[in-house]
Chain A
């Protein structure tokens, strides 16, 4: 099989391809390979012992469960936000559209200390919640979920928004003329169209939140078995120079992220085969 499947008259392939592969190799391929090579030298028994130790298992559970809850909240809120931004006109709309990206641009550590300081017992928000609902936010799993919701906001909105913009108004008009109520129109004509984009935004946010570190370490309080997240476990192993354990924990996390993204890829390919949806 020939490497270049079609000759092109445009020059510059060698230089562009060579530079691409050189940088890609140095930054992504070699470091990832070194993780694989390093893990290949681990003994299976040690690997298993590390990743099934109660503390590590609870770390995975804390990371996955909080990320899941936060992503579900973000899917619902993100859909509402995208809908409002695409369908309605109201004062301050442009401002809100710009502000959605804030969690993406704001350094995670800054978001982390601000959210933590706000939600401790003496903070503006923390005091209010403790006095009215008796709910502690900082240094509990609720706090982790709050930080992850903050981080995940842009993912769902930015996935759904373009699809919602492209939906043909004729579908809705047709549904309306045939006598469907607005609710029915939404659930039967619009929702199936945006569902693939919603799933893709949800999985991206989910995968990202599982690995999130900067915004969570401050608010979590890092109590073992309670609010200790998996990335922090890797961090503490690294600080003790126990690279074998760190790599083992990291491998399982990569596997979880990979699983989520594959499920998403599978869903998307089913949708595009069926011929529906735009994503």
Chain B
């Protein structure tokens, strides 16, 4: 009786296994692979020449540069913030830690449109800051600084969230020992803390730059939509798409797809490297 049951179960288990694997592969193929392949198909449907002409268009190049600049700013600021926040939150005990970590995580749950809206309300015409900004000749919304601010906001927690768990797990013993032996803050960070977080920091930077390059909603609110001036690559894609220039839109998208694929490969590689390093430390 018992043997029969387990044989039945085994057979059933095998079928469940096959069915689940097949389901997952088909689902991911339909949902993830087809849209990606489709972008490349449409981008190249009129041949290499048209493709090259679309991506080397003056406005496309300008949009790509603006995206690169905004991404560099976002990654730079978020790296500084991530390192400081992770250091402050994991190495010291103080009041209000929970509130601070909740505030750091907040931007991910806020809709990108609302993220854009709050910056418009802060620096826009009805804000109390506006007269001062006008006097000093600083334009933030509908200009590049607004795009940079929005990009920083939507990618805000990505780096600190990678670092905090690692530093929490590492504890403070090593840093305390180093401090008692008279090491300066910079030496402690460089020699003791940094080796622990090296890979997670890189991982966070990769995630942050991927999201920063692709941000659409928040940037769309804050951009003046001026061709060649305040159009980032995703906004440029929208512009072409709405102008029914599908080949152009998909060609510009293909640049972003290449970036995505690079990010995914880097991610897998970093996880492997980081994982190995952790094993060695154990």
A residues with CB within 8 A of B: 1, 3-6, 8-13, 15-17, 19-20, 23-24, 27-32, 34-35, 38, 77, 80-81, 83-85, 88, 90, 92, 94, 96-111, 113-115, 117-118, 124-125, 149-150, 153, 181-182, 204, 207-208, 210-214, 218, 231-232, 234-235, 238, 243, 246-247, 250, 253-254, 257, 261
0/1 interface trace, chain B 6-47, chain A, CB 8 Å (1 if under): 000100110011001101110110011111101100100000
CA distance A97 to B275 in the complex (A): 15
Q: Does B202 contact A (CB under 8 A)?
A: no
- B-side contacts of A107, CB under 8 Å: 213-216, 233-234, 237, 253, 256, 260
Establish whether residues B32 and A238, one from each chain, have CB atoms under 8 Å apart when the complex forms: no
- B-side contacts of A231, CB under 8 Å: 111-114, 217
- A-side contacts of B241, CB under 8 Å: 113, 218
Establish whether residues A243 and B217, one from each chain, have CB atoms under 8 Å apart when the complex forms: no
Establish whether residues A31 and B118, one from each chain, have CB atoms under 8 Å apart when the complex forms: yes
Q: Does B53 contact A (CB under 8 A)?
A: no
- A-side contacts of B35, CB under 8 Å: 111, 114-115, 118, 150
CA distance A12 to B97 in the complex (A): 17
0/1 interface trace, chain B 168-194, chain A, CB 8 Å (1 if under): 000010011001100011001100000
CA distance A204 to B108 in the complex (A): 10
- A-side contacts of B281, CB under 8 Å: none
Q: Which residue of A lies closest to B209 (CB)?
A: A105
Q: Which residue of A lies closest to B122 (CB)?
A: A34
- A-side contacts of B265, CB under 8 Å: 98
Establish whether residues B188 and A3, one from each chain, have CB atoms under 8 Å apart when the complex forms: no
CA distance A89 to B115 in the complex (A): 42
CA distance A114 to B36 in the complex (A): 8
Inter-chain contact total with CB atoms closer than 8 Å: 279
B residues with CB within 8 A of A: 9, 12-13, 16-17, 20-21, 23-25, 27-28, 31-36, 38-39, 42, 77, 80-81, 83-85, 87-89, 91-95, 100, 103-104, 106-114, 116-122, 124, 126-127, 149, 152-153, 156, 172, 175-176, 179-180, 184-185, 188-189, 207, 210-211, 213-217, 220-221, 233-235, 237-238, 241, 246, 249-250, 253, 256-257, 260, 263-265, 267-268
Q: With A84-B23, A99-B28, A113-B253 given, can you name 15 additional A-B contacts, CB distance below 8 Å?
A: A8-B172, A10-B91, A19-B84, A31-B118, A81-B24, A84-B21, A107-B234, A107-B253, A107-B256, A110-B260, A111-B35, A153-B31, A213-B217, A235-B113, A247-B121
Find the residue from B36, B91, B179, B264 having the highest chain A CB count within 10 A: B264
> Within the complex, which residue of B100, B153, B217 is in contact with A27, where a contact is CB–CB below 8 Å?
B153
- B-side contacts of A108, CB under 8 Å: 214, 216-217, 234
> Within the complex, which residue of A114, A117, A208, A250 is in contact with B117, where a contact is CB–CB below 8 Å?
A250
Q: Which residue of B lies closest to A24 (CB)?
A: B103
- A-side contacts of B83, CB under 8 Å: 16
Establish whether residues B24 and A124, one from each chain, have CB atoms under 8 Å apart when the complex forms: no
Establish whether residues B39 and A34, one from each chain, have CB atoms under 8 Å apart when the complex forms: no
Find the residue from A81, A102, A211 having the highest chain B CB count within 10 A: A102
CA distance A15 to B85 in the complex (A): 10
- A-side contacts of B32, CB under 8 Å: 99, 102-103, 150, 153
Whole-angstrom distance between the Cβ of B33 and the nearest chain A Cβ: 8
Whole-angstrom distance between the Cβ of A17 and the nearest chain B Cβ: 4
Whole-angstrom distance between the Cβ of B225 and the nearest chain A Cβ: 10
CA distance A24 to B234 in the complex (A): 27
Establish whether residues A92 and B25, one from each chain, have CB atoms under 8 Å apart when the complex forms: yes
> Within the complex, which residue of A28, A218, A235 is in contact with B107, where a contact is CB–CB below 8 Å?
A28
- A-side contacts of B217, CB under 8 Å: 108, 213-214, 231
CA distance A115 to B250 in the complex (A): 12
CA distance A181 to B210 in the complex (A): 45
CA distance A69 to B172 in the complex (A): 45
Establish whether residues B179 and A124, one from each chain, have CB atoms under 8 Å apart when the complex forms: no
Given contacts A5-B93, A113-B249, A38 and B126 within 8 Å (CB-CB): yes
Residue contacts A-B, CB under 8 angstroms, 16 given: A15-B185, A27-B107, A81-B24, A96-B24, A102-B260, A105-B264, A106-B36, A106-B214, A107-B256, A109-B234, A115-B35, A117-B250, A204-B109, A213-B220, A214-B234, A257-B109
